Amino acid sequence: MPRLALIHTVPALVPRFGPLVEDALPGWSFTHSVDESLLAETIREGRLTEATRARLAAGVREAAAGADAVLVTCSTLGEAVDALRPSTPVPLFRIDRGMVEEAVRRARRIGVLATLSTTLEPTGRLVDATAAATGREITMVARLCEGAFAALAAGDRDGHDRLVRQAFEEVAPQVDVVVLAQASMADALPASVRAAGAVLTSPELGIAAVAAELTGRAHATALSGRRPS
């Protein structure tokens, strides 16, 4: 049975992602590991340091040694994940790529909301790079939800969600679609807003993109008689 290893920086994301990967990848097994310090150090330093990149690389190597694919669910680490892909012996994924690809496919005016500047900036760069790679011209409105992450860290989920909603209400009239840069933001908006397609979140779209690539890879491997690598 093939195995997907998920690397998290927030413990609460383990139960969030568990059912998603089980539904999207039947026939696969899953492991979850959590290293909160990867995110905590990035927030403290205000950037991804070489020490944090090195520790992420070590975690990815360890995960890849016992898995057929690895997924990092922290968008703040996305650019470090991309840098590790060429040297990782199994497919390595960043969670926000599927969401951003869908946003660029769907809209020309894209809003990006984040509760951390260390996530807002790399997500914005991913939007620009994805649009450039597909030849699409887009405009982007990026907004930091000031105070939301601090509220969540203090256990005030309602305060976090209120600040995310405020930012969404300010940005939404200016754009065609809004992306929520962090998986921890995914449930901050009412279900009616999410169902209307005005906002995109990374967990579902990220997992869908991972599953599409892995099942396509598995099918191609089966045809050639080789194990996924």
What token pair was written down for 97?
């790529």
- The predicted model gives 55-82 an average pLDDT of 97
Place of tokens 């994805």: 130
What is the structure's pLDDT at 218?
A: 53
Give Cα separations from 124 to 66, 86, 112, 131, 215 (angstroms): 33, 23, 7, 11, 29
Given a cut of 60, is residue 150 above it in pLDDT?
yes
- The predicted model gives 95-107 an average pLDDT of 96
Cβ neighbours of residue 186 under 8 Å, at least 6 residues apart? Answer: 16, 180, 201, 202, 203, 204
- The predicted model gives 21-32 an average pLDDT of 96
- The predicted model gives 10-35 an average pLDDT of 95
pLDDT tier at 49 (50, 70, 90 boundaries)? very high
The pLDDT mean for the chain works out to: 92
Q: CA 215, CA 221: separation in Å to the nearest integer?
A: 10
Q: CA 161, CA 127: separation in Å to the nearest integer?
A: 24
What is the structure's pLDDT at 217?
A: 64
What is the structure's pLDDT at 226?
A: 40
Q: CA 164, CA 143: separation in Å to the nearest integer?
A: 10
- The predicted model gives 37-55 an average pLDDT of 95
What is the structure's pLDDT at 190?
A: 84
3-state secondary structure of 189: coil
What is the structure's pLDDT at 27?
A: 93
Q: CA 49, CA 39: separation in Å to the nearest integer?
A: 11
- Across-strand partners of 29? 3
Given a cut of 60, is residue 73 above it in pLDDT?
yes
- The predicted model gives 214-224 an average pLDDT of 59
What is the structure's pLDDT at 221?
A: 46
Q: CA 119, CA 182: separation in Å to the nearest integer?
A: 7
Rounded percentage of the chain residues whose pLDDT exceeds 70: 94
Give me the phi and psi of 175, to 5 degrees please: -135, 175
3-state secondary structure of 7: strand
What is the structure's pLDDT at 198?
A: 86
Tens of pLDDT along 124-146? 999 999 999 999 999 999 999 99
- The predicted model gives 18-44 an average pLDDT of 96
pLDDT tier at 23 (50, 70, 90 boundaries)? very high
What is the structure's pLDDT at 193?
A: 80
Cβ neighbours of residue 165 under 8 Å, at least 6 residues apart? Answer: 188, 189, 190
Q: CA 73, CA 179: separation in Å to the nearest integer?
A: 16
pLDDT tier at 229 (50, 70, 90 boundaries)? very low
Q: Domains in the chain, ordered, with CATH?
A: 3-95+204-224 (3.40.50.1860), 97-202 (3.40.50.1860)
